[in-house]
Structure 1
């Protein structure tokens, strides 16, 4: 009996011993995704974060650590990212590694927990108009303040500090934010007001504080296509790309065959739509509308009336505007591109018009001036003062005979009968003016 009990205990110890490595392996299989948010917050960033969060969710990750270091960006992009974070199942922790300003602060507030590096900062989140660099109008500003407040409240944070980050009229002197200045919290101040869970120096410290020190860290990086999308959808790049396309098309239209300008324009447009498709801003319907516009413009070369070309141009402009996230911004970008194209066309017509193929077919470039060897009428100034005889009545036009040469003339206004002496008093090209000449009493 004792032998059986001893054998049983040895068996239990054996099972316990072999189960320890498996238990450690199970703990090690817990995954934490490390996602970096740096540079500017724009629409292209959304595609990268969406893909990263989806991968983390499908892998059963316990947590996503979103490392933030940004000066901010565009509020519409930040709003989409905040919504994406709220819909993601794994817990998202924001690690502010240096700064989360403006739109970056808003994104950080959507995380369930915030940790900051010793030199980290969060705040300064007022809406700025991109074109002027000034504070946004009251409507947009009021909306953004409400968004900051809601983001703080949704994760149990005191909204007063979030509001002060976006509203300069709120005074918080204890955090160096007098009236007229936006609130920006340091790492220690953010921890003091309950915005930060702690000040850490590495991702590993965050894992230790959350009991995941043995978890596997999975790094996600921006793919090549996502990098292109982020670059192409940047608000500064978009109008430049469209301007290149417009100018390239203008030069190509005035050049023989299809060459570098046309290739440049086509490449710019393809890049534009490619970037916006990858970023999730444009659908295939916008690309189809663009292709329809191109087809209509090509048909204009074979159809009369100009309607096909006009509809094609409208279709292209509408497709470009619909491809962007902000129709107003896209409309401004299109206007800039049109202005660049028109300026280019004026320069081409002024300085290079005679050398370009299509321009010579569309516009009459030759002028029949004297410098080019053309003479519209012989200006016979040598006839001034000469005398002649009318061979027809002048009523007031008629014909005179001058030394055997018949010349069409007009009188100064009075009727002159046939067979009268006249003197030529004015020559204006083909118009020769005469008056009656009396032999007696007239000085020659």
Structure 2
């Protein structure tokens, strides 16, 4: 009898459990970023996570000024092939999905926008390869036409596949048409306007969407929302894709190498320089870096190094400062040749350019003032006072080389065997502007010290 009662209770509980609605889960990501390979990899991980956990849908909330064509095409391909419904959402209020962002939003199974947001202006921006003041060359015009035709066909294909308006979509590419949220709904570019995420989930509840896994009806009303964030690695890589960071990494590498040349043997400057340069190289793989800008910054480094060894009264330093400023300005090309969707947003910020130039200029002025003061200092009985002074060999003396004594660089000759760079040296004689030096032996410590 007891067993029968227990069995009946378990069966009743199982019946109640079966009648209880299953808790539905939606995943969401929110990105205010340039479309680049880092964002592509992050969205791929988000889709895989949503699929693995059986989510109702993945909401991609985005605002972006654009990005690279390659990254955009990969993201669009992922959305079109996703077995999990992807809901794209231009938000928060007054956000934008320009250029590459328009393609990504339209590729969602459901596309939505927040009030006051906009979408469009998707004409490809090209980076210059010539033309100058006379305008684009014939090759550039042909390349521009080909790029425009290609991306126009892409956005039309997306619109047709998702049941959107292909003619208006094509105008966003060819005419840089930009639409408000209401206009986008009226022109059938997006499906609806939603005030926030909760409003969006309420409005799409019950909609049926066709995915690669088949037709799925969404149950998003009162669904649990789990946010997917970038990992520490993805956040760091995204940080490196910032044009200002790319520029600063190149400057750090440049001054690290300069300090190593000025003070050979120091470990920290060259270590920092190598790390910064490697990070710059990685960053430049995600951004269309202009080689001319890099060469101008390299020329600035050469001018600064030459200033250390040549008395130019600041001419080389000034040339280096101008090259540095121009290099930073030209590090990322102006609109004109390789197809991208960056336009105005891919450049070093004026504040960063001016700030770094002021800091470098201030350091150069301080160094020049110190040099002038040293030159105006009255000599003490000629230069005989240098005899007995201790300095450091900055190059190998075999037997001639360069030493640093009493705050100045000198040409020197070793009179007692070879002297290695970094060895302490003592001045024993002076011949014109050349010092006679010998390696200063290390002082012996007394017993008991």
Query: Aligned pair 1:111/2:105, yes or no?
Result: no
Residues 1:261 and 1:367: Cα distance change in structure 2 (over 3 Å): closer
Counterpart Cα distance in 1 of 2:309 and 2:300: 14
Residues 1:214 and 1:343: Cα distance change in structure 2 (over 3 Å): same
Counterpart Cα distance in 2 of 1:19 and 1:357: 89
Higher relative contact order (CA 8 A, sep 6+): 2
* Equivalent residue for 2:40, pick from 41, 46, 51: 46
* TM-score (norm. length: structure 2): 0.57
Deviations 1:167-204 (A, max 9, x none): 12xxxxxxxxxxxxx21111111111222221111222
Corresponding position of 1:159: 166
Q: Is the 8 A contact 1:82 1:110 kept in 2?
A: yes
Counterpart Cα distance in 2 of 1:54 and 1:363: 63
Query: Aligned pair 1:218/2:215, yes or no?
Result: no
* Equivalent residue for 2:239, pick from 227, 231, 243: 231
Counterpart Cα distance in 2 of 1:255 and 1:331: 29
Corresponding position of 2:83: 89
Corresponding position of 1:253: 261
Deviations 1:51-82 (A, max 9, x none): 22221122122211111122223333222222
Corresponding position of 1:295: none
Corresponding position of 2:383: none
Counterpart Cα distance in 1 of 2:84 and 2:53: 10
Q: Is the 8 A contact 1:100 1:121 kept in 2?
A: yes
Residues 1:229 and 1:332: Cα distance change in structure 2 (over 3 Å): farther
Q: CA deviation at 1:127?
A: 2.0
* Equivalent residue for 1:69, pick from 63, 67, 77: 63
Deviations 1:21-57 (A, max 9, x none): 45435x21x3211011213222222222222222112
Corresponding position of 2:324: none
RMSD: 3.8
* TM-score (norm. length: structure 1): 0.58
Query: Aligned pair 1:344/2:304, yes or no?
Result: yes
Corresponding position of 1:178: none
Counterpart Cα distance in 2 of 1:367 and 1:246: 26
Corresponding position of 1:141: 148
Q: Is the 8 A contact 1:256 1:357 kept in 2?
A: no
Corresponding position of 1:193: 187
Residues 1:373 and 1:363: Cα distance change in structure 2 (over 3 Å): closer
Counterpart Cα distance in 2 of 1:23 and 1:363: 91
Counterpart Cα distance in 2 of 1:149 and 1:359: 66
5 Å-filtered alignment, 1:259-408, equals 259-272=267-280, 324-325=285-286, 329=289, 331=291, 334-336=294-296, 338-350=298-310, 358=394, 374=432
Q: CA deviation at 1:243?
A: 4.1
Query: Aligned pair 1:24/2:32, yes or no?
Result: no
Unaligned runs of 5+ in 2: 130-134, 206-218, 312-366, 372-390, 403-408, 413-429, 434-449
Residues 1:225 and 1:374: Cα distance change in structure 2 (over 3 Å): same
SS in 2 for 1:329: coil
Counterpart Cα distance in 2 of 1:122 and 1:240: 32
Q: CA deviation at 1:16?
A: 6.7
Q: Count the aligned residue pairs.
A: 299
SS in 2 for 1:229: helix
Q: Is the 8 A contact 1:32 1:63 kept in 2?
A: yes
Q: Is the 8 A contact 1:249 1:265 kept in 2?
A: yes
Residues 1:256 and 1:21: Cα distance change in structure 2 (over 3 Å): same
Counterpart Cα distance in 1 of 2:20 and 2:393: 76
Unaligned runs of 5+ in 1: 1-6, 169-181, 277-320, 376-444
